[in-house]
């Protein structure tokens, strides 16, 4: 296919820069412990300094892949599909989720909410970032809010974000991995004092799975 043609298809969300896909156990948040197929889409310019998948940022390093091929493959592994990245909302997620829904698959997204919400989602995990705050409707639609705690100020940020989500949204504090030893005791104290919050750990990293 010609380069321009590919770019147009990516622009329409009919092709996506696919970094990796894998069948694993959802490690984080409400669905932790549940088997799911992960689709990791490249491209993110939010720039979290502690991001654990910086290799995903440059969309140009990941092959544009047709969503039909992605969906055909995903359906073989699981009925729960987690779309992550990179920042999946960099792209139009409507075609991908429509195709997943045609196969009766459950669609979950991991997103910072930094860009316009597209796609049809059964579960939205919103993990807002200070450097590019979510806008608009996603606060009303999120099923879980997962704030990464790197330092003490992140508790204040977490409360600001919790004030914006819908009343059914489940609230999680997740330690930033590299400072876990130091920050976990602070999160534990905070959750005991503010029990509307729950702890989320990156359990896949303890299980040594993707």
Ligand X SMILES: Nc1nc2[nH]cc(C(=O)O)c2c(=O)[nH]1
CA distance 148 to 174: 5
> According to the binding rule CB under 6 A, does residue 48 interact with ligand SF4?
yes
**Interface mask toward ligand X for 26-55; x: CB under 6 A:** xxx---------------------------
Q: In the bound complex, what is the minimum distance in angstroms from residue 63's beta carbon to ligand SAM?
A: 19
98 is in an annotated binding site: no
The two three-digit tokens of residue 21, written as one number: 């896909």
Report the alpha-carbon distance of residue 164 to residue 138 in Å, rounded: 10
Count, residues in the chain: 210
Collapsing DSSP to helix, strand or coil, 18 comes out as strand
The answer to whether 180 is a known ligand-binding residue is no
The listed partner (ligand X, ligand SAM, ligand SF4, none) that binds 89, CB under 5 to 8 Å by sort, is none
Q: Does 90 bind ligand X (CB under 6 A)?
A: no
Pick the closer one to ligand SAM by CB: 143 or 146: 146
Contact (Cβ atoms closer than 8 angstroms) between residue 103 and residue 71: yes
Residue 169 counted as an annotated binding residue:
no
Q: Does 85 bind ligand SAM (CB under 6 A)?
A: yes
Contact 97, 124 (CB under 8 A): no
Q: Binding of ligand SAM at residue 144 (CB under 6 A)? A: no
Concatenating the DSSP letter of every residue in 92-153 gives --HHHHHHHHHTT-EEEEEE---S---S--SEEEE--BTTB---TTHHHH-SEEEEEESSTH
**Residue 84 binds ligand X, judged by CB under 6 A:** yes
Q: Quick one: which of 46, 99, 126, 187 contacts ligand SF4 (CB under 6 A)?
A: 46
**Taking CB under 6 A as the rule, does residue 170 contact ligand SAM?**
no
Distance CA 4, CA 6 (A): 5
39 vs 99, beta carbon nearer ligand SF4: 39
Residue list for the binding site for substrate = 25-27, 40, 84, 210
Which residues in this chain contact ligand X in the complex, by CB under 6 A? 24-28, 84, 110, 204, 210
């Amino acid at each position: 296919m010609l380069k321009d043609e590919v770019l147009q298809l990516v622009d329409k969300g009919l092709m996506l820069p696919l970094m990796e896909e894998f069948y694993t156990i959802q490690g984080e948040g409400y669905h932790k412990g549940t088997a799911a197929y992960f689709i990791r889409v490249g491209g993110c310019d939010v720039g979290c300094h502690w991001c654990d998948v910086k290799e995903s940022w440059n969309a140009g390093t990941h092959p544009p892949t047709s969503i039909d091929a992605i969906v055909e493959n995903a359906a073989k592994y699981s009925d729960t599909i987690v779309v992550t990245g990179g920042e999946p909302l960099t792209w139009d997620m409507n075609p991908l989720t429509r195709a997943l829904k045609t196969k009766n698959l459950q669609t979950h997204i991991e997103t910072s909410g930094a860009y316009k919400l597209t796609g049809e989602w059964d579960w939205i995990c919103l993990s807002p970032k200070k450097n590019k705050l979510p806008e608009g409707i996603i606060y009303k639609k999120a099923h879980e809010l997962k704030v990464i705690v790197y330092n003490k100020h992140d508790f204040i940020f977490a409360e600001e974000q919790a004030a914006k989500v819908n009343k059914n949204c489940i609230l999680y504090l997740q330690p930033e991995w590299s400072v876990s030893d130091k920050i976990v005791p602070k999160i534990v104290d905070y959750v005991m004092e503010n029990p509307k919050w729950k702890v989320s750990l990156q359990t896949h990293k303890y299980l040594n799975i993707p």
